[in-house]
Amino acid sequence: MSEVLARWNDLPSKEAAEEVLPCCGSKAWAEKMAAQRPIADEIALLAACDTACESLAESDWLEAFRSHPRIGERSAAPISARSAVWSGEEQRKVEIESDDVKMNMAEGNRTYEERFGRTFIICATGKSAPEILEQMKRRLQNDDLTELYEAAEQQRQIARLRLKKWLAS
């Protein structure tokens, strides 16, 4: 068992939930994660993440989405400094793009927010800005429920990546 997990397994529930909260942004998710302890290893941790995600309500997902900055920006009020750092790392390829690409991304963000009333969520790790823009355009065609499910799946992927980073910290 990693030192991070061993220490986390021994924390009081509230503190354990607060520690993993930057990985997802939903308090209900973090509480569900803490309730599944003790967790032995990374495989069990990722399975616990999936289990926690399966039982979240729409309001829990929306809370998680609010913890993210717009894609290509850093202006959201992240729930922690750790979350802000992770967002920056995840969006690294977007930050180096041309002004035209950044302008298209900003316009896409505005259009998405007008259409769905929330920030566009995508697991940006390893994706270029053109790939993200293509996904954004495609997802703008979704109905509200389909898009909620797609954003939730993207959030689940982000949470899994962040849990891996947290374990390595």
**Does 134 participate in catalysis according to the annotation?**
no
Instruction: pLDDT band for 10, please (50, 70, 90 cuts).
Output: very high
Bigger pLDDT: 48 vs 95 = 48
pLDDT at 97: 62
- Res. 88: pLDDT tops 70: no
Output the CA–CA distances (angstroms, integers) from residue 162 to 21, 116, 134, 141, 146, in the order listed: 10, 25, 24, 29, 24
The topology under which CATH files domain 3-168 is UraD-like (1.10.3330)
Residue pair 65/25 in contact (Cβ under 8 Å)? The answer is yes
**Residue length of the chain:** 169
Band (pLDDT 50/70/90 cuts) for residue 86 is low
How far CA 81 is from CA of 76, 140, 162, 166, in Å, comes to: 12, 30, 13, 13
The residue annotated as part of the active site, out of 39, 48, 68, 86, is: 68
- Angle at 83 (CA atoms; ends 107, 27), nearest 5 degrees: 100
**pLDDT at 130 exceeding the cut of 60:** yes
Q: Is the pLDDT of residue 161 over 80?
A: yes
